[in-house]
């Protein structure tokens, strides 16, 4: 666990790119030493402002420090969140949430979650199960406009990934 009494290495002074990379590397080494597994991200991606890679790293840190260590009745928080999603979307046709990857690609699970809590925002009965991109765009736009959830996914990338 991160502890506020732990001391981090002193950052390099300077504003040049190599100073920034050196400082980010120190931070990455620290979080790696705390058990965070970083895959495909280095200091350069962060310094260069690669949003997707940086958000992925932040999610990994959240999983490690905020979610992974929480458990209730031998169920991890991640498993609990998956179970919650399954229960909330169970009554909806064409939705079968099995994981946090493939189950969301067609946009129906996300639309179902929104409809379950705010049926006034989506007419679920009019969704086309074959319009993956349209469903994802609809869900993300409604979430951003009406629920104050920032659009952090690119629907085109999400539907292309296998």
Contact call for residues 118 and 139 (beta carbons, < 8 A): no
Please give the torsion angle defined by the CA atoms of residues 155, 117, 87 and 68, in that order, rounded to the nearest 10 degrees.
70
- Residue 104 in any domain: the answer is yes
Contact 28, 42 (CB under 8 A): yes
pLDDT in tens, 63-95: 777 666 555 566 677 788 888 899 999 999 999
Specify if 129 maps to a domain. Answer: yes
Looking at the structure, tell me whether residues 79 and 46 fall in a common domain: no
C-alpha pair distances (Å), 70 with each of 84, 85, 158 = 15, 18, 28
Q: Residue 51 belongs to what domain range?
A: 17-67
34 and 104 share one domain: no
Residue 3 has pLDDT above 60, yes or no: no
DSSP code for 63: I
Clarify whether residues 62 and 98 are in a common domain: no
Nearest-angstrom CA–CA distance, 156 and 72: 36
| Confidence band for 4, pLDDT divided at 50, 70 and 90 | low
The number of domains in the chain is 2
In this structure, the number of other CB atoms found within 10 A of the CB of residue 135 comes to 25
Residue 29 lies inside a defined structural domain of this protein: yes
Q: Are residues 34 and 80 in the same domain?
A: no
- Per-residue model confidence as pLDDT tens digits over 113-144: 999 999 999 999 999 999 999 999 999 999 99
Q: Does residue 124 contact residue 115 with C-beta atoms inside 8 Å?
A: yes
Q: Using alpha carbons, select from 152, 116, 114 the residue that is nearest to residue 135.
A: 114
In this predicted structure, what is the pLDDT of residue 70? 56
Task: Check whether residue 81 and residue 63 sit in a common domain.
Answer: no
Q: Examine the fold and report which residue of 47, 67, 87 is the final residue of a domain before the chain moves on.
A: 67
Distance CA 121, CA 3 (A): 42
Rounded to two decimals, the pTM is 0.58
pLDDT score of 1 more than 50: no
Domain annotation covers residue 57: yes
């Amino acid at each position: 666990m991160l502890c506020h009494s732990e001391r981090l290495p002193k950052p390099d002074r300077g504003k040049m790119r190599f100073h920034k990379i050196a400082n980010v590397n120190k931070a990455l080494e620290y979080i790696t030493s705390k058990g965070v597994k970083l895959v495909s991200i280095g200091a350069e991606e962060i310094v260069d402002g690669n949003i997707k890679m940086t958000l992925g790293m932040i999610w990994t840190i959240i999983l490690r420090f905020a979610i992974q260590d929480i458990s209730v009745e031998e169920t991890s928080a991640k498993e609990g969140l998956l179970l919650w999603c399954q229960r909330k979307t169970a009554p909806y046709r064409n939705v079968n949430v099995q994981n946090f990857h493939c189950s969301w690609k067609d946009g129906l699970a996300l639309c179902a979650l929104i409809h379950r809590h705010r049926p006034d925002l989506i007419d679920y009965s009019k969704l086309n199960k074959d319009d993956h991109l349209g469903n994802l765009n609809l869900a993300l736009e409604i979430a951003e406009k009406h629920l104050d959830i920032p659009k952090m996914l690119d629907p085109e990338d999400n539907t292309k990934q296998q």
